[in-house]
Chains A and B, each alone.
Chain A
Amino acid sequence: MGTKRGYTFIQANRAWLPKFLLLWVMVMAFLSTWIYKKMDADNKVRRKELLSSMCEQRARMLQDQFSVGVNHVHALAILVSTFHYYKDPSAIDQETFAEYTARTSFERSLLSGVAYAEGVKHSERERFERQHGWTIKTMKWEPSPIRDEYAPVIFSQETVSYIESLDMMSGEEDRENILRARATGKAVLTSPFRLLGSHHLGVVLTFPVYKSKLPSKPTVDERIEATAGYLGGAFDVESLVENLLGQLAGNQAILVNVYDITNSSDHLIMYGHQNQDGDLALLHKSNLDFGDPFRKHQMICRYHEKAPTSWTALTTAFLFFVICLLVGYILYGAAIHIVKVEDDFHEMQELMVRAEAADVAKSQFLATVSHEIRTPMNGILGMLALLLDTDLSSTQRDYAQTAQVCGKALITLINEVLDRAKIEAGKLELETVPFDLRSILDDVLSLFSEKSRNKGLELAVFVSDKVPEMVMGDPGRFRQIITNLVGNSVKFTERGHIFVKVHVPENPKPLDDAKTETCLNGGLDEGSLISGGRQVNTLSGYEAADERNSWDSFQHLIAAEALQDDASVKMKVADEASQSVTLMVSVEDTGIGIPLIAQDRVFTPFMQADSSTSRNYGGTGIGLSITKCLVELMGGQISFISRPQVGSTFSFTTVFGRCKKASLSDTKKANAEDLPSGFRGLKAIVVDGKPVRAAVTRYHLKRLGILVEVANNVKIAASACWENGSSCRSKIQPDVVLVEKDSWLSGEDGSLSLRMLDWKQNGHMFKLPKLILLATNITNAKLEKAKAAGFADTTIMKPLRASMVAACLQQVLGTGKRQPGKGMLNGSSVLGGLLCGKKILVVDDNMVNRRVAAGALKKFGAAVECAESGKAALKLLQLPHSFDACFMDVQMPEMDGFEATRRIRMMENQANEQMNGDTEKGSVGKDEWHLPILAMTADVIHATYDECLKCGMDGYVSKPFEEENLYHAVAKFFETKPVSDS
């Protein structure tokens, strides 16, 4: 499990995801149910509270209203006792009572009517009946039977006048009431019953009326004694409650019942319907106190309707559930998505790894295949070369030559592909060796001179003086870059020029200044508008894509250089202090340019500007991409400016190391083709109308040490000479006059003046300056003409190269003999010089190898001895010995090269120590023993090299000997340690 790549939590639990979702949904459902229940319960509590408050409110109001009624009846009772009994005669009769009660009935809104019944004993009945003129009747309007007591109504309110003369005692309820009221002396209520007259339910209130004042704490008997009658009032409870409820809000919502619960087992209903349906689940009971302690009343309220379903709660819960469901689903979806994306990612990663592997494999395959093709190609080419050496008919020769050319092209292509593959595989390593940039540029130019001459192109190189003579870098790759760029330019240019310029991009600002300056006053004074087209100050006069190479800035560059030359040595010192130097190289041509649409992909491999390019010009389009890679490997950048039909300028920067002074002298001899120094101090005049070209010529001459002056045309040159001639000899007397072909042609009349000049000078007995014509291409006729015109001495064909110019000058001036053997300084002769007379030991177990090595070394003039094993070598190298160097095979049986070297070094150390001891004692010191030992090995990978150095070897040569390798390895010892003991 540990090997699995970093899965996230989600990825690890992917199987659980649906279960998680289900769990979530369930939990959420539970939660929303709970929420619903909670809200519903809240609602219920609120409903209950509302009900109880409403019920209480109603109960209190009812009670208050009731007690108001009771109080008033009480007041009436007191009124009756006061005015009926205490006054004599009575101040109240039926009329008064009726009027009074009618007028105060608003006070007793709840009472349907009040009446006063006098207590009459049976003994008094007759008197009473006589007095009033009517007989006492029962409730049923019948003459009352005989009883102990009667309570006939004597005063009554008009509303209940029908009860006058009725004996209240005859009604069961009333009688009980009367008795109780008499006993307690308080207001007393009946149980509810249907009232007479109206058929509403009602209760009757009864108050006792006393005929005399009672003692402060009367007994029951005293009360009964004092009682004169009874004041009664009928409460119409039904209408009372109806009125009351009608006044209150929310009347419709609740259902009110009022009960008399004196008898707790049998509740008597006072108001409301016994079996009215309503919300039976919820009811509220409120006790009512109507002032009669004997009777208990109760109000029961309930809602009319059942509790409505709580939509809010339901909606809330439902919405909550839905939201949670959605959230859950979103999370689930996200998790699923994450899982999917991660899966895809892993898949992609795998694919990427495979793609990368495929890419590497491709590069390796390319490298291998290119290599494998190269090997037989070498065979083919070698054999073709051999074939061409044989006697062939012209047709056969033609065929063979064609084959050879094709083979060479193929191998170039293969090399390029190999390079490309190597770079892609990151296997290309750059060397760091000192080399002369100028000579490389000259070489490249000479490579293309033939082609450019055929096309009539100006091909020139200019290297700024600030560029160090020797730089550290990879000359091969640098040459490759230049060759690529120049090759492209040559390929795509039909007219005009190709100009390679190298300088140190140090201060771009003055350049700008110069530019603006020339913008201000540029063009006019030189009269650059020549009939036909715009004449541009470039090498050939054709317009170039990048104006930076035009004379304006170029001039400035040269001027700046001159300044710097003059300035001081400090600058140079400062320059050399830095370890590296950045060079700006530009290759300018006036070719067909690159179409704008194709400019983006110029550096893409196998992309040419368009498909017709390869048809017209050939090539694979790999060159520029390799160039770009190489430039980047060298720590630079490449860019280009191109204008279709005008030309392109490729410029790139590279970083080279500076050469250390010490090693400079060594390597220079080996690497650089040496320019003859015999021209130092010569003077020359260059006649050229084009300043850039003149500058290039001057640069080459300067390299030879020739002092140069530039003249714009022949006349000026002539006059310069003339002045020199006429004035005293302090002025410069030119040894050579180099005339550009164009200048000569444009000023053909000038040839006359030249002639004249010659004459003049002859007349003055001056040495005649040599006349040299510089030409790109020249027809034979023209050449004849030129010879006739005085250029008898020689014609230098462009492109100019310092060495070629030197050769021509040698020829002209006859200075060639001054440097004998200069040109011999390379190749085997150098090795010969190095190894000549040296005694060398070759140690190899392989007889063949031994023989070959010995043969090779002998060829260079060394005296060779051989040893076939490490042990034999040790024996031979017992100190003191006379060997100058030892070549040691690394792989040998018994004792390998490393071991043998270690032992040799040990021996030497011992000897040296001893010797040091001796020298202290005063004997003459000799050099320490240190035999240069070079490893011979078939594989030259670095690990082996490191091991070689570790065990005390001084270097290595790869096994089939190659002269160059051998030279490099050996040169170190025989040069830096000059002739110590020979």
Chain B
Amino acid sequence: MMGLVADRLRADANRLLAFLFNQGILDEQFLQLQQLRDESSPNFVSEVVNIHFHESEKLLRNLRSLLMDREFSGYNKMGIHLNQFMGSSSSIGAKRIRNACFAFRAASEQNSRAGCLRALELLEHDYCFLKNKLHELFQIQQQRVLAAGARYPMQN
């Protein structure tokens, strides 16, 4: 019975991952990241991702405030923020976010405020989406760990 639950959880996680890959939200880097998980840091992925979310929220806030500024001139600063955003999202393999950042940067390089605003909205949307999905994934994984833990004695 427990085995079935574990299997279902695994299938769920796989389905979710497949969905994320399919939609181009994540890429291989995320899988690589998962491989870095070992006994010493079993929650490595979620840890990193949480850092990423934390950073990202800060960056998004900054970007929004920059864009909302009345005499708007912070394209340069925005570029730096975006570079950071891009760096961290490509590290965790958040492909769609990275692409959104590309678009954002292109818009900022063209000094188009409307474009920037559009890009920012897209970015925020993507970010929220990813955040929800990843949380979902981590939850499933957590349950899997629990299930596996519960299953362990049965095997012996």
Contacts and interface: CB of A to CB of B under 8 A. Distances in A.
Nearest to B10: A390
A91 interface: no
Given A893-B80, A960-B29, A848 B51 contact: yes
Contacts of B38: 859
B88 A848 contact: yes
B80 A379 contact: no
A454 B3 CA distance: 40
Interface stretch (B89-97, B110-118, B125-133, B147-155): B89-97
A312 to B, nearest CB: 86
Contact of A847 (B10, B27, B55, B83): B55
Interface string A934-975: 000010000000000000000000011110000000000000
B66 interface: no
Contacts of B44: 855
A858 B40 CA distance: 10
A677 interface: no
B87 interface: yes
A855 B48 contact: yes
B88 A847 contact: yes
A851 B55 CA distance: 12
Contact of B17 (A386, A849, A851): A386
B24 interface: yes
10 contacts: A379-B18, A382-B21, A390-B14, A847-B51, A848-B52, A852-B33, A852-B91, A938-B86, A938-B87, A960-B29
A845 B86 CA distance: 12
Contact of B11 (A376, A390, A844, A938): A390
A889 B17 CA distance: 30
Contact of B91 (A849, A859, A893): A849
B93 A391 contact: no
A959 B36 contact: no
Interface residues of B, number: 37
Given A848-B87, A859-B38, A387 B14 contact: yes
Given A387-B14, A390-B14, A848-B48, A856 B36 contact: yes
B interface, over-half SS: helix
Nearest to A891: B83
A379 B28 CA distance: 8
Interface string B4-37: 0001001100100110011010011101110010
B14 A386 contact: yes
Nearest to B21: A379
Contact of B90 (A378, A847, A858, A938): A938
Interface in A852-911: 852, 855-856, 858-859, 889, 891, 893
A919 interface: no
B29, B36, B54 — which one has the most chain A CB atoms within 10 A of its CB?
B36
B47 interface: yes
A376 B96 CA distance: 13
B11 A391 contact: yes
Interface in A473-513: none
B41 interface: yes
B22 A848 contact: no
A848 B91 contact: yes
Given A848-B51, A848-B55, A855-B48, A960 B18 contact: no
Contacts of B18: 379, 382-383, 386-387
B143 interface: no
Contact of A855 (B29, B41, B83, B84): B41
B91 A389 contact: no
Interface of B: 7, 10-11, 14, 17-18, 21-22, 24, 27-29, 31-33, 36, 38, 40-41, 44, 47-48, 51-52, 54-55, 80, 83-84, 86-93
Contacts of A960: 29, 32, 90-91, 93
Contacts, number: 89
Q: 5 tightest A-B contacts by CB?
A: A848-B88, A383-B18, A379-B21, A848-B52, A846-B87
A375 B51 contact: no
A858 B39 CA distance: 12
A383 B29 CA distance: 15
A546 B70 CA distance: 80
A688 B55 CA distance: 70
A859 B36 contact: yes
Contacts of B17: 383, 386
B55 A383 contact: no
Nearest to B44: A855
Given A380-B22, A391-B11, 19 more contacts: A378-B28, A382-B31, A383-B18, A386-B17, A386-B18, A391-B7, A848-B52, A848-B87, A848-B92, A852-B33, A855-B41, A855-B48, A858-B41, A859-B38, A893-B80, A960-B29, A960-B90, A960-B93, A962-B32
B84 A852 contact: no
Interface residues of A, number: 32
Interface in A792-824: none
Contacts of B36: 852, 855-856, 859
B127 to A, nearest CB: 13
Contacts of B32: 960-962
Nearest to B80: A893
Given A855-B48, A893-B80, A960-B32, A849 B88 contact: yes
Nearest to A390: B11
A960 B86 CA distance: 12
A864 to B, nearest CB: 12
Contacts of B93: 960
B90 A959 contact: yes
B144 to A, nearest CB: 13
B22 A379 contact: yes
B14 A849 contact: no
B22 A383 contact: yes
A383 B90 contact: no
A858 B90 CA distance: 20
A376 B25 CA distance: 11
A889 B92 CA distance: 16
B29 to A, nearest CB: 5
A856 B41 CA distance: 12
A886 to B, nearest CB: 18
A955 B36 CA distance: 23
B80 A959 contact: no
B6 to A, nearest CB: 11
Given A391-B11, A851-B47, A845 B84 contact: yes
A512 B128 CA distance: 75
Nearest to B45: A855
B91 A846 contact: yes
Nearest to A386: B14
A846 B86 CA distance: 10
B84 A846 contact: yes
A828 to B, nearest CB: 10
A938 B86 CA distance: 10
Contacts of A379: 18, 21-22, 24
A761 B83 CA distance: 78
Nearest to A381: B21
B108 to A, nearest CB: 16
A375, A383, A851, A938 — which one has the most chain B CB atoms within 10 A of its CB?
A851
B55 A846 contact: yes
Nearest to A856: B36
Contacts of A851: 47-48, 51
A593 to B, nearest CB: 43
Contacts of A961: 32
Contacts of B14: 386-387, 389-390
A847 to B, nearest CB: 5
Contacts of A390: 7, 10-11, 14
Contacts of A389: 14
Contacts of A846: 55, 84, 87-88, 91
A400 to B, nearest CB: 12
A967 to B, nearest CB: 15
A571 B89 CA distance: 58
Nearest to B41: A855
A848 B29 CA distance: 13
A403 B7 CA distance: 23
